Structure 1
């Protein structure tokens, strides 16, 4: 890993090469901890400048722009001037606000203005979708999201109207800057959820979705009915160029099948509503008795079976029937005339088209240096959708 260090926008030098203890580029807590100790001053990672695409999203050689809070320890940095520094520091219209000089500090200043002095902030995540900073002494998390994502605190405020315990408490919100300040959710992430956790989270979330359907939500919309046009746009652009001739033919065949697939989904009788968007158990927190859902930045108005499909794709095979049964029972209770199971087969295809459209929205709205995070995602999702139609159930 490489770090190009600046004080404000003034280039100070490069840190000697080091190895991060976490391979994921966006997870920077260990990186800033190492740099704080090495340089003797607090640091923030502003953005990814370069990454070798050995494995998308992690591993390989990574170069970050890092900002220090004061003059670093002498003799550590290589101060050799960089001819590309003016290009690195130049304004970029699609740059995330926290990737700009002083961006993370502005988020921290806003948060501490609400909770008071909170000790040393810990930057946990920084990439093109969000910046996440913990204020440990205040038991709070400050989060900034991109202009094309949802604002966590805003979505949570709507959710709390129907289940006040299903998401962390909101301590502050700035809609203009897309900043959220949330209370820490005690416990651990539920990567391996037990039966009680699956039943509790899934049933409570469905109850909220059924009640919130008609709310005036400030989130993006991506409805199944939008997918034919979305697929047309993808195939006419870079995604179409990346597919092989055989894959492109298969994709056009899928496009012709879409009206029937969407009609099958509609026959389940479920309403479009708030979708979490990344509904896997790693975004659930539990202390054994109290459970919450976190990370609401991917929320949008869409079809609720999207969240179930996302969940079952993550769960081990033996736990999937419980999730499906819990979800089906909850929706039948909320909408007795519905047939939720009818949504599962078409959603196994549509989930990938929704993913392709979402990833393309990311690519359309992030600066060039950050595209490496998602460059291949829309094409891979189209390939997965094609494969789903070729399985014996379709």
Structure 2
């Protein structure tokens, strides 16, 4: 599956110039823009999605992006209608001049670190992040910029790097605008990892979460979302207030109260611990992408990590997770808490996507609109209310 890409061009001041002829891009994922940049007739910085048409939103089909050029291309551009109206929820990196400002910050920071960048390549842009790879004589570095609701990621990486070095990416620099420089992690993202590898990931995350137990209040004070107990219920209800969710919200607070009685302590939660958010070269594993992290119940991570596995494999990994927590915390009941929080995890996922929809501009909502009803339906089934 591929994409048919159209680039609508603007100059650095945001003045529209016209559109390049459509061209094919082999990689289907809309947020991946490295091949979009490579296939353009001129040097461009992709700013944001304008529209997309596909049977599966976010994958394949015909996609139109807004892109910035320093100089108008020589060939005549075709006229095109595009909504370039400013929007208050637009990410800074999606505005003309935004990518250039971010890359300038990164190259200056690398110069100060004695790791000058010689090549810069844009790799991804969408409502959750913009990513570039910067290469130089001291090896590659990754530049990441995130929207406001993910800006605590740098705080998390800084604190975890101090207590569990090697388990998370090395943070080289960060600022107050959601920009981060991350040292390269060799290997590949572990999408499709089998049960044995997922169990090893769970063991890594357990060690990290036990190490983070004393940091919970400090992390919250530093801006990491506090979703412990009743705070989680309040956040879920607020996020889903504009959605038809009452059927799965009834009894939420009571269920969370029973979960707290099980004695597994709150700690740092990754929030999206699927294998694709783990990178490995076969020698070590590194847990990446901490933007969804929060302080809350660690069971949410094992419920994500076991998703999609056959029941016997999922049960075995969950049993191993329970054994680790029983060994770490005397008298706790991890088996009961997993079953109590299983439907809450689905409700929380619906709330996460609802929060994305509320925090991003309309043209980007196509990525997430189907996820809220999907997770609400899943929660209803788990609660026996579907």
Q: TM-score of the superposition, structure 1-length normalised?
A: 0.86
Query: Where does structure 1 lack aligned partners over 5 or more consecutive residues?
Result: 241-247
**Partner residue in 2 for 1:180:** 180
Q: Distance in 2 between matches of 1:269 and 1:157?
A: 28
Q: Give the C-alpha shift of residue 228 in structure 1.
A: 4.5
Q: 1:23 aligns with which of 23, 28, 42?
A: 28
Judging changes above 3 Å, is the alpha-carbon distance between structure 1 residues 231 and 144 closer, same or farther for their aligned structure 2 residues? closer
Q: Distance in 2 between matches of 1:105 and 1:201?
A: 37
User: Do the aligned partners of 2:33 and 2:123 also contact (CA within 8 Å) in 1?
Assistant: yes
Q: Distance in 1 between matches of 2:179 and 2:134?
A: 14
Q: Secondary structure at the match of 1:148?
A: helix
User: Do the aligned partners of 2:144 and 2:179 also contact (CA within 8 Å) in 1?
Assistant: yes
Q: Secondary structure at the match of 2:24?
A: coil
Q: Secondary structure at the match of 1:19?
A: strand
Q: Give the C-alpha shift of residue 46 in structure 1.
A: 0.4
Deviation per residue, 1:16-46 (Å, 9 max, x gap):
11222122211111111111xx22x2x2110
Q: Distance in 2 between matches of 1:120 and 1:319?
A: 44
Q: Secondary structure at the match of 1:292?
A: strand
Q: Distance in 2 between matches of 1:154 and 1:255?
A: 31
**Partner residue in 2 for 1:67:** 68
Q: Give the C-alpha shift of residue 380 in structure 1.
A: 2.1
Q: Secondary structure at the match of 2:150?
A: coil
Q: Distance in 2 between matches of 1:170 and 1:364?
A: 29
Q: 1:3 aligns with which of 7, 16, 34?
A: 7
User: Do the aligned partners of 1:97 and 1:103 also contact (CA within 8 Å) in 2?
Assistant: yes
Q: Kindly report which structure 2 residues correspond to 1:220-231, keeping only aligned pairs within 5 A, or say none.
A: 220-226=225-231, 228-230=233-235
The number of aligned residues is 370
Deviation per residue, 1:234-274 (Å, 9 max, x gap):
6652x22xxxxxxx7xx43x433324432332233112221
Q: Distance in 2 between matches of 1:266 and 1:79?
A: 61
Q: Give the C-alpha shift of residue 329 in structure 1.
A: 2.5
Deviation per residue, 1:50-94 (Å, 9 max, x gap):
12353122233221001123343x22x5242x4x55x41x32211
**Partner residue in 2 for 1:168:** 169
**Partner residue in 2 for 1:111:** 106
User: Do the aligned partners of 2:240 and 2:354 also contact (CA within 8 Å) in 1?
Assistant: no
Q: Secondary structure at the match of 1:336?
A: coil
Do residues 320 (structure 1) and 310 (structure 2) align? no
Query: Where does structure 2 lack aligned partners over 5 or more consecutive residues?
Result: none
Q: Distance in 2 between matches of 1:100 and 1:47?
A: 8
Judging changes above 3 Å, is the alpha-carbon distance between structure 1 residues 353 and 226 closer, same or farther for their aligned structure 2 residues? farther
Q: CA RMSD in A?
A: 2.4
Q: Give the C-alpha shift of residue 314 in structure 1.
A: 4.1
Q: 2:366 aligns with which of 364, 369, 372?
A: 372
Do residues 330 (structure 1) and 334 (structure 2) align? no
**Partner residue in 2 for 1:123:** 122
User: Do the aligned partners of 2:266 and 2:298 also contact (CA within 8 Å) in 1?
Assistant: yes
User: Do the aligned partners of 2:227 and 2:235 also contact (CA within 8 Å) in 1?
Assistant: no
Q: TM-score of the superposition, structure 2-length normalised?
A: 0.88
**Partner residue in 2 for 1:355:** 349
Do residues 213 (structure 1) and 213 (structure 2) align? yes
Q: Distance in 2 between matches of 1:122 and 1:256?
A: 48
User: Do the aligned partners of 1:150 and 1:299 also contact (CA within 8 Å) in 2?
Assistant: no
Q: Give the C-alpha shift of residue 167 in structure 1.
A: 0.8
Moved more, 266-275 or 164-173: 266-275
User: Do the aligned partners of 1:131 and 1:144 also contact (CA within 8 Å) in 2?
Assistant: yes
Deviation per residue, 1:337-361 (Å, 9 max, x gap):
2121112212220011111221121
Q: Secondary structure at the match of 1:213?
A: helix
Q: 1:301 aligns with which of 267, 279, 295?
A: 295
Q: Distance in 1 between matches of 2:142 and 2:241?
A: 41
Deviation per residue, 1:357-385 (Å, 9 max, x gap):
21121111111211221123222221110
Q: Secondary structure at the match of 1:55?
A: coil
Moved more, 95-104 or 131-140: 131-140
**Partner residue in 1 for 2:259:** 265
Q: Distance in 2 between matches of 1:110 and 1:231?
A: 36
Q: Kindly report which structure 2 residues correspond to 1:379-394, keeping only aligned pairs within 5 A, or say none.
A: 379-390=373-384
